[in-house]
Amino acid sequence: METGANRDAKELMQKIGYEFKNEEYLEEALTHRSYSNETEKDRRFNNEKLEFLGDAVLNLITTEYIYELYEKKTEGELAKLKSQIISEPVFSTIASDIELGEYLYLSNGEIMSGGRNRRSILGDAFEALIGAIFKDSDYYTAKNVALKLLLGKINKLEEIEGTGDYKTVLQEFVQGKYRKMPEYKLLNTKGPDHDKVFEISVSWNDKIYGVGIGKSKKEAEKHAAKEALVKLKNKSSKNRRTI
């Protein structure tokens, strides 16, 4: 690949865990329109079409993932969560995490004006990168790479609702009221090895109070604890209304 970026794109492939069969897709994903306009390259050779494709692929990946993971959420709740994930702030943050800006082909003007760190450029480049992986391989490979990068952000968005430390809150409640520890039990595992989903229950006094699903056992336990806390909160509210 041409020199024009600060870093070798092979480093980027190692970071994302995917090696391109056709590196031209990667080069296209990393080429900003300003670079094509400033050089002798075909001006149509830039990442805008791959960005368009990547946006659609990421929409499907995210929709499918949260639909399967959060079975108890309403359509409105899922739509709100999806809109928070499919956003420039999230995509640009992921791009910054993998230093995507250092691999971009930008014009001198864009570089001088801070283009390597501009959120709009980084967010668009991330979409283009996922689009390039989809073109070079298939949907499931693109999904695997995208979810590795997205999962931390999805979990963080979920935790905005509260402290996110549902297991600790539940443990303190159960110990204080029942002098027992909540018990977590694996109920089911589904999906291929590289894309497993775990279903775990939380119980005490031989009664299940919550069931959670997640991409890891830890995540599933967190969601089980959250469901148990919601049930306890609703039960407490009902008792107060009957007094």
pLDDT tens for residues 190-235? 888 888 899 999 999 999 999 988 889 999 999 899 888 877 766 6
Same structural domain, 171 and 84: no
Residue 95 has pLDDT above 80, yes or no: yes
75 is catalytic: no
DSSP strand pairing (197-204 vs 183-190): antiparallel
Of residues 232 and 62, the one with the higher pLDDT is: 62
Q: Which two tokens stand for residue 67?
A: 């639909």
Number of domains composing the chain = 2
Judge if 13 and 126 occupy the same domain. Answer: yes
Distance CA 32, CA 24 (A): 14
Q: How confident is the model at residue 185 (pLDDT cuts 50, 70, 90)?
A: very high
Whether residues 223 and 196 fall in one domain: yes
Residues 6+ apart with CB under 8 A from 89: 119, 123
Residue 1 inside a domain? The answer is no
Lowest-pLDDT choice from 70-84, 90-104, 151-165: 151-165
Catalytic hit among 55, 136, 199, 219: 55
Instruction: From 133, 159, 185, give the residue that closes a domain.
Output: 159
Give residue 208's pLDDT: 94
Between the CA of residue 151 and those of 21, 129, 135, 228, what are the distances in Å? 26, 17, 22, 23
What is residue 151's predicted lDDT score, i.e. its pLDDT? 82
Q: Is residue 2 part of a domain?
A: no
Assess whether 206 carries a catalytic annotation: no
5 band by pLDDT with thresholds 50, 70 and 90 = low
Whether residue 139 sits in one domain with residue 117: yes
Q: Which of 27, 28, 110, 127 is catalytic?
A: 127
Go through 211-232 and write b for each residue having 16 or more CB atoms within 10 A of its CB, e for each that does not. Answer: bbbbbebebbbbbbbbbbbeeb
Q: What is the pLDDT of residue 3?
A: 38
Does 14 or 232 have the greater pLDDT score? 14
Is 124 a known ligand-binding residue? Answer: yes
Residues 129 and 62 placed together within one structural domain of the fold = yes
- As a whole number, mean pLDDT of residues 85-114 equals 92
Domain limits for position 145: 9-159
Spatial separation of the C-alpha atoms in residues 122 and 12, rounded to whole Å: 14
